[in-house]
Amino acid sequence: MSLPRRVGSTYSRIWRTYRSWAPSLLLLALVVFVPLALLDALTMNVELESLDLTNGIKVAALVLAVGAITATGLIGEVFFSGAIAISLTHPHGEDPPPLREIARRLNYGRLIAVDLVYVVGVAVGLLLGILPGLLVFVWFGLAGPVVELEERTARGALTRSMRLVWGNFWLVLWVLLPIQVIGDGIGHLLAALVHDLFGHTFLATWLAEAVTDIALSPIFAIAAVLLTLDLIAARNEQAPSIRATPVPA
Is residue 129 in some structural domain?
A: no
Is residue 197 in some structural domain?
A: yes
**If you average pLDDT over residues 229-243, what whole number do you get?**
84
Is residue 98 in some structural domain?
A: yes
> What's the angle, vertex CA 155, arms to CA 150 and CA 156, rounded to 5?
35
- What are the b/e assignments for 22-44, b being 16+ CB within 10 Å? eebbeebbeebbbebbbbbbbbe
Is residue 111 in some structural domain?
A: no
Q: How confident is the model at residue 76 (pLDDT cuts 50, 70, 90)?
A: low
pLDDT of residue 245: 52
**If you average pLDDT over residues 201-210, what whole number do you get?**
81
Rounded CA separation 148/111 (Å): 9
Q: Could you give the percent of the chain with pLDDT greater than 70?
A: 78
Is residue 154 in some structural domain?
A: no
The model carries a pTM of: 0.80
Residue 86 makes CB contacts below 8 A (sequence gap 6+) with: 97, 102, 105, 106, 148
Rounded CA separation 202/185 (Å): 22
Range of the domain at 96: 3-106+169-234
Is residue 249 in some structural domain?
A: no
Phi/psi for 191 (5° steps) reads: -65, -40
7-36 per-position pLDDT tens digit:
999 999 999 988 888 888 888 888 888 877
Is residue 180 in some structural domain?
A: yes
Between 244 and 149, where is the model more confident? 149
Structurally, how many domains does the chain consist of? Answer: 1
93-143 per-position pLDDT tens digit:
556 677 777 878 888 889 888 888 888 888 788 888 889 889 999 999 999
DSSP 8-class letter at 26 = H
Is residue 208 in some structural domain?
A: yes
Mean pLDDT computed over every residue of the chain: 79
- For the ranges 126-130, 187-191, 239-243, the lowest mean pLDDT is seen at 239-243
Q: Which run of H or of E encompasses 98?
A: none
**If you average pLDDT over residues 73-96, what whole number do you get?**
69
